[in-house]
Amino acid sequence: MEIRKLTAEDAERYFELRLEALRNDPETFASTLKDTEESPIEKFRDRLESPSSPTLGLFDNGRLIGNVTVRKETIPKMAHRATVLGMYVTPQKRGNGAGRMLVDAACALAADMAAEQVYLAVVSTNEAAKNLYARCGFRVFGIDRHAMKHDGRYIDEDLMVKFL
């Protein structure tokens, strides 16, 4: 498996993986499947070219199987911070270190971007993801009650941080 920054040329593959993520785990992400399906591919090309929010892709034999975005804060007083967003690994590749590879690469990228701490939010009931992040050195510092609402049900998120 290999990890590299995604570019505009990867937009179609990224788009397909994003749709898979929203089909498999609709409560995990703020985006909806319907809105994403209706988005023009140019939106994803632009997203992948953002210098302040690079997206890493995890490839297995040339196939995109996972991704994570690192958003660096640009406000001067918060420029020491980065946030991990949109973390996803295709279910068939989970449990073999793929998630750990992506999280570690995201933290290394954040450090390269001069971040001193990395934040993330994870659905409070997603024990597998919470355990992965804890193994990678993240710690819970709070809970965002009713962070999202899906099909009439509120979803809480654990707020986590890792100091680099």
pLDDT tens digits along 103-115: 999 999 999 999 9
Q: Which of 143, 112, 118 is nearest to 133 (CA)?
A: 118
Average pLDDT for the chain: 94
Domains of the chain, first to last: 2-163 (3.40.630.30)
Percent of the chain with pLDDT over 70: 100
Average pLDDT over residues 12-28: 92
Under 8 Å between Cβ of 54 and 70: yes
Q: pTM for the complete prediction?
A: 0.93
Phi-psi region of 73 (alpha: psi -120 to 50; beta: other; left: phi over 0): beta
E-assigned strand segments in 96-152: 117-123, 139-150
